[in-house]
Structure 1
Amino acid sequence: MEKKKIVIIGAGPGGLAVAMQLSQQGHDVHIYEKAAQIGGRTAMLKQDGFSFDLGPTALNMPNVITGLFADCGRNIQDYIKLVSLDPLYSLYMGDVVFSPSSDPVKTKAEIARLFPGEEEHYDRFMRDNAKKMVYLLPLWQEPFPSLWSLFRLRTLRALPSLTLGNHLVDELAKYFEDRRLRLAFSFETKFLGMSPWETPGAFSVIPFAEHYFGIFHIIGGINRLTFAMSEIVQENGGQIHLNQHVQQISTANKKITSITLDDGAVITGDYFFLNADYAYTMSHLFTESKAPISLKKLAKKKYSCSAFVIYLGLNTKLPLNVHTVLFPDDFRIHMDEIMHQLAIPDDLSIHLTYPDAVDKTMAPQGMSTLRILIPVPNNESKIDWEKESHALRNKVFKIIERKLAITDLESHIVTEKMITPYDWEHDYHIFKGAIFSLTHQWSQLGPFRPSETPAIKNMKIVGGATHPANSLPFILESANIAVQKFNKEHT
């Protein structure tokens, strides 16, 4: 294959995965990243000696990561240290605290203790979703270039597993009678930016994957993965240009000809991969007449919720597992308030990440870090976050102290940072502050997710907005698909 100059916009995991593979193949790879560090939403946040994961804090389906490193001739264990979490998380649902394990014997015992009679339903859920995964996995690993892709034999064989017409809660009702147990196997959809009452039933494979493969913490944080990926790119001769904000993408004759940086530098290339936030890129980096999608069509798409995030450096230790979720009394009303009423919920859902439970490297000795994530509406809501932030922060602290019996959290804070939906949009260039990108209803899956366009022949799109979905393993699969299509075009 002829050596090409590859230009990648954005040093998030999708762009880095493309860069790893194409630099391994001998191409001249250049990544341009607006921030001072790699990672995108999977970057490290450092403050006053404390380290935090900016975005994702857990890794599942590690086989995808392992395969990517192996394809580049590397052993992942030479770059990062994975810790399998047991329990996976602790879920506070009313008067019940459910702490499942990747060990099915332990999980069944926990279900039998809290939800007597439901433990055998767990076995059936795992068996059925193992079969579903066999049919769906190939669909995640190949492109859907057009509507005709839906009629491929492999897709048609998978149709029964797609459970068309069913939402995730409908699927779970086939297995679990207790609504709290259904919630325990569906709450992950908030990280798809959706409610389980609107998420397609096919996504039951996500809780299955967590229970089957486990959930992992990376020592030093998930950001260590993107750092390791950048090391491989540079070992292969690729270059990563930090603090290089792309101001404009120029096109001619159905091709991208160059990108222009803030300092006026014009960068040319043979092929371009866009890993920056999809909707932001389409609406800000192209002139409207040259963009592959119009602003009118962008506005019609459905975007995920956002998040209000608090990062705390503490001068104490807390009796927490790595992941703890505090649920509102009625999760359905909670998600409806976020997704449809576009209001800050009265009763909050709070996801706490406390790496010190297994990792002593992210805080000074004797101290610890705590990240608090609260799903909230994206910026379609027009909420004035400068006005609302302080009251919401105080409400969150009171809920944590009450539900976890933690006294005076405020007095232990050494350092603190808050990121609101406004900040996600204006500081991190995420369209509408929708940190989980496009939602995942059927009208925005498969061939209906962006990947490329006939309007531009030397461009591929990777990341959370593309096929197959928004989560770290799926983002890496999007990169694999993009590289696969690039190689097919150039052989």
Structure 2
Amino acid sequence: MLTHDPDLAKTARAGRPPHAVVVGAGLGGLAAAMRLGARGYRVTVLDRLDGPGGRGSCLWRDGHRFDLGPTIVTVPQVFRDLWRACGRDFDTDIDLRPLDPFYQIRWPDGSRYAARQDPEAMRAEVARLSPGDLRGFARFLRDSAARYRFGFEDLGRRPMHRAADLLKVLPRFAALRADRSVYAHVARRVRDPRLRMALSFHPLFIGGDPFRVTSMYTLVSHLESAFGVHYAIGGVAAIARAMTRVIEGQGGLLRFGAEVDEILLREGHAAGVRLTGGEILGADIVVSNADAGHTYDRLLRNAPRRRWTAPRLARARWSMGLFVWYFGTRGTRDLWPDVGHHTILNGPRYGGLVRDIFREGRLAQDMSLYIHRPSVTEPGVAPEGGDSFYALSPVPHLGHADPVDWATRAEPYRKAVQDVLEARLLPGLGQHLSASEVFTPETFRDRYLSPHGAGFSIEPRILQSAWFRPHNVSEEARGLYLVGAGTHPGAGLPGVIASAEVLERLVPDPVTARAP
């Protein structure tokens, strides 16, 4: 029997505010819980893992801390706004360090590109690689700023669940050539193939194919130049823990090791959840931070669905998978002095590799890697004198016709990653290894319940963004809301945190919220 009170206005007046159940303690779910708690809801957050953060959590191995997912904090203002909405100060709770350079990109020919916030330094980088592209680079930056103002500050921070919302913005989409891909847009501004890669790869950080994703996502370049790139001491997991403290300070409850099996409906209204062990929790509203595909295909499996049916989800285009090797080293703190906090190591192909990953579903022999070395900024992530790393390689998700068998391919692929690192970035790596852990798309499927083991949920193509993306307020059940990477405005820390801001504009006032 569900335990919610049917007369919410009466219970609110009696001192019992309506109950919101949040499914998932990823950053989107935690941000939603914070905003709901600040609004006056009684909040319970449920998560199947043993701690907060979801993909933004961490693990420890032999004295090394490994940040499992996001490592880059851009637009810290979205966090400051969130804390302010709860009457708190983000910078009191979190030690955020600006990075300079943001990251370094390296190509097989030995050339390098360091991304920085200082405009003169960036022009110098472009001039060093391709002086003929300086004018086009300046135009690209103006383009990026215009797309940021529209795509993030406007579109990304307001609801997009009504067809009328889409119709209003179509002229602006057309004016900004949203039909053009990120790569196609960059290619119209600069000619050097290295610069084309350096200015177009950003969609990979949110699960998108740069050759297919709408050019609106060039806004990421403006995010970096306007707000910088930061690292939180303690990793993103420290932000997640700080969020739990805010929720608990509001009187909210967090339960870990509690997996939701189904969202329960009553007369078409979300009325609670059933856990895998059979326990039922009543609710007046339910917010799902689970992947949107999992929410509709699994958690609402017994409910009639009009839009997000199983066939529609099967037709959706999903982001790529991720192969991540977390490894620790001994006695290396001063061994590789030119390897900074973030490095992008390009393979010999760009377009061909992306095609193999997204369209062919083929695990290529070559690879490009993102390497995270937080110990240069926070020595405490590793034993004294050592380092903690992760190397991330984009790979196909598990939904292709002939998915990769990671049970047999994981270790050979890890060894191939190590060979590339030893040859091009970390000579002698094998002699210093002290800890090792591997995540494959199968890990993402099993740990995070991510459909097809996709790293970033539904791919942010133009017809899978804004109104076309799963909405923050569900059309399948009243009182059901969605936050996180799989819903509007999309993946990445700013998008995930902004999804809770959008949610706050959609939920009813707690005094008038009402379940049947």
- If the length of structure 1 is used for normalisation, what is the TM-score? 0.95
Decide which of 450, 458, 468 is 1:430's aligned counterpart. 450
CA contact (8 A) 2:474 2:482 kept: no
Indicate how the Cα distance of structure 1 residues 338 and 156 shifts in structure 2: closer, same or farther if over 3 A, else same: closer
Match of 1:353 in 2: 372
Match of 1:339 in 2: 358
**Is the counterpart of residue 212 in structure 1 residue 226 in structure 2?**
yes
**Residue 121 of structure 1: how far off its partner (Å):** 3.1
Runs of at least 5 residues in structure 1 that lack an aligned partner in the other structure:
none
CA contact (8 A) 1:251 1:290 kept: no
Indicate how the Cα distance of structure 1 residues 376 and 112 shifts in structure 2: closer, same or farther if over 3 A, else same: same
Partners of 1:284 and 1:250 lie apart in 2 by 12
**Residue 183 of structure 1: how far off its partner (Å):** 0.6
Task: State the secondary structure of the residue aligned to 2:456.
Answer: coil
- Partner deviation per Cα, 1:79-103 (whole Å, 9 max, x = no partner): 1111111111110123211112111
CA contact (8 A) 2:262 2:274 kept: yes
Match of 1:383 in 2: 404
Partners of 1:238 and 1:157 lie apart in 2 by 43
CA contact (8 A) 1:135 1:157 kept: no
Task: State the secondary structure of the residue aligned to 2:448.
Answer: coil
**Is the counterpart of residue 193 in structure 1 residue 213 in structure 2?**
no
Letter in 1 for 2:496: I
Letter in 2 for 1:112: A
Match of 2:342 in 1: 323
Number of residue pairs matched? 488
Percent identical pairs in the alignment equals 28
Decide which of 354, 374, 378 is 2:393's aligned counterpart. 374
**Residue 9 of structure 1: how far off its partner (Å):** 0.3
Letter in 2 for 1:189: P
Match of 2:440 in 1: 420
Task: State the secondary structure of the residue aligned to 1:380.
Answer: coil
**Is the counterpart of residue 114 in structure 1 residue 129 in structure 2?**
yes
- If the length of structure 2 is used for normalisation, what is the TM-score? 0.91
Letter in 1 for 2:468: F
Partners of 1:446 and 1:124 lie apart in 2 by 26
Letter in 2 for 1:453: S
CA contact (8 A) 2:147 2:217 kept: no
CA contact (8 A) 1:15 1:462 kept: yes
Match of 1:98 in 2: 113
CA contact (8 A) 1:5 1:28 kept: yes
Partners of 1:151 and 1:368 lie apart in 2 by 51
Decide which of 125, 136, 139 is 2:140's aligned counterpart. 125
Letter in 2 for 1:26: G
Task: State the secondary structure of the residue aligned to 1:212.
Answer: helix
Match of 2:327 in 1: 312
Decide which of 186, 192, 202 is 1:178's aligned counterpart. 192
Map 1:20-35 onto structure 2 (within 5 A). Answer: 20-35=34-49
Indicate how the Cα distance of structure 1 residues 131 and 287 shifts in structure 2: closer, same or farther if over 3 A, else same: closer
Decide which of 446, 463, 467 is 1:443's aligned counterpart. 463
**Residue 117 of structure 1: how far off its partner (Å):** 2.9
**Is the counterpart of residue 260 in structure 1 residue 260 in structure 2?**
no
Partners of 2:261 and 2:448 lie apart in 1 by 14
**Residue 377 of structure 1: how far off its partner (Å):** 0.4
Letter in 1 for 2:139: R
CA contact (8 A) 1:109 1:119 kept: no
**Residue 376 of structure 1: how far off its partner (Å):** 0.3
Match of 1:67 in 2: 81
CA contact (8 A) 1:283 1:291 kept: no
Larger deviation: 409-418 or 117-126? 117-126
Q: Pairwise CA RMSD of aligned residues?
A: 1.7
CA contact (8 A) 2:260 2:273 kept: yes
